[in-house]
């Protein structure tokens, strides 16, 4: 009798996991489709002194601050779901398994709360990045001299972003993100789920800092850059030798930074 109940429980767990994975895949494709659609609708960038193009992501287009910020945050969150979900799903799957038999009837709710905590951290990052980006873009439009320095500054920032990939701090953060796929059992409460999501979000955002810098200084709404950053983050999380891959990607970012600086000097 016990073996029969165990088999039924195992089948129920398998069905729940399949439902979770199917829902995650649907959410990924939906968010990716919306991101592509919104980026395609966005007008081309503005040519600036110095031979570079300003992203329209940082242009308010005459909108009040609240309307412009709301529009950016909506797009930012959809974009983060599309970019980070491939890395987040294995961590959430581990979280669900770590609860064991504590919360069979509440797994969906607790998983949703943990995911909300995770993306709340990314929302805060977007909320900080947007006013900084708008302020810089307005300064660049007011001052042609300042605008001409942007390519050089971009190259230097890319060198910094690439350099973070070689730091021991990066290795520790990457290790913490990878360890999140081997969870310990946690309390099956909404508060614990929210806190778990926040921890995942903080660790992940710090680990991805170099890649996010690349995205923001290149073009926050560039589909090509989004795809490259998404693939890079996902590869780092799941290869056997993550530190080596992190250094290789750091070298690539540094090479791009040097190329940008060379073009600016020319």
**In the Cβ-directed half-sphere of 207, how many Cα atoms lie within 13 Å?**
27
Classify each residue of 13-39 as buried b or exposed e, where b means 16 or more C-beta atoms within 10 Å of its C-beta.
beeeeeebeeebeeebeebbebbeeeb
pLDDT of residue 1: 44
β-partners of residue 46 are 54
Largest CA distance in the chain: 80
From CA 41, how far away is CA 38, in angstroms rounded? 5
Q: Which residues of the chain have pLDDT under 70?
A: 1-10, 12-13, 44-45, 50, 100-105, 180-186
pLDDT of residue 39: 86
pLDDT of residue 181: 59
pLDDT of residue 56: 79
pLDDT of residue 186: 61
Query: What single-letter DSSP state applies at residue 105?
Result: G
For residue 64, how many other CB atoms are within 10 A of its CB? 9
């Amino acid at each position: 009798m016990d073996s029969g109940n165990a088999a039924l429980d195992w089948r129920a767990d398998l069905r729940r996991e399949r439902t979770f994975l199917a829902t995650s895949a649907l959410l990924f494709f939906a968010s990716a489709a919306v991101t592509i659609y919104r980026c395609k609708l966005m007008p081309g960038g503005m040519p600036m002194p110095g031979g570079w193009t300003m992203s329209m992501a940082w242009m308010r287009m005459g909108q009040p601050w609240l309307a412009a910020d709301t529009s950016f945050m909506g797009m930012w969150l959809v974009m983060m779901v599309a970019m980070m979900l491939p890395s987040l799903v294995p961590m959430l799957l581990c979280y669900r398994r770590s609860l064991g038999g504590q919360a069979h009837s509440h797994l969906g709710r607790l998983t949703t709360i943990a995911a909300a905590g995770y993306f709340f951290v990314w929302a805060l990052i977007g909320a900080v990045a947007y006013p900084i980006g708008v302020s810089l873009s307005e300064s660049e439009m007011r001052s042609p001299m300042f605008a001409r320095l942007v390519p050089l500054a971009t190259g230097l920032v890319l060198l910094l972003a690439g350099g973070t990939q070689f730091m021991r701090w990066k290795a520790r953060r990457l290790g913490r993100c990878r360890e999140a796929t081997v969870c310990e059992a946690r309390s099956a409460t909404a508060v614990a789920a929210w806190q778990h999501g926040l921890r995942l979000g903080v660790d992940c955002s710090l680990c991805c800092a170099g890649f996010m810098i690349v995205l923001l200084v290149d073009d926050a709404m560039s589909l090509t850059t989004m795809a490259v950053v998404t693939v890079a983050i996902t590869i780092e999380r799941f290869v056997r030798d993550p530190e080596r891959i992190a250094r290789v990607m750091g070298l690539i970012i540094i090479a791009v930074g040097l190329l940008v600086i060379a073009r600016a000097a020319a």
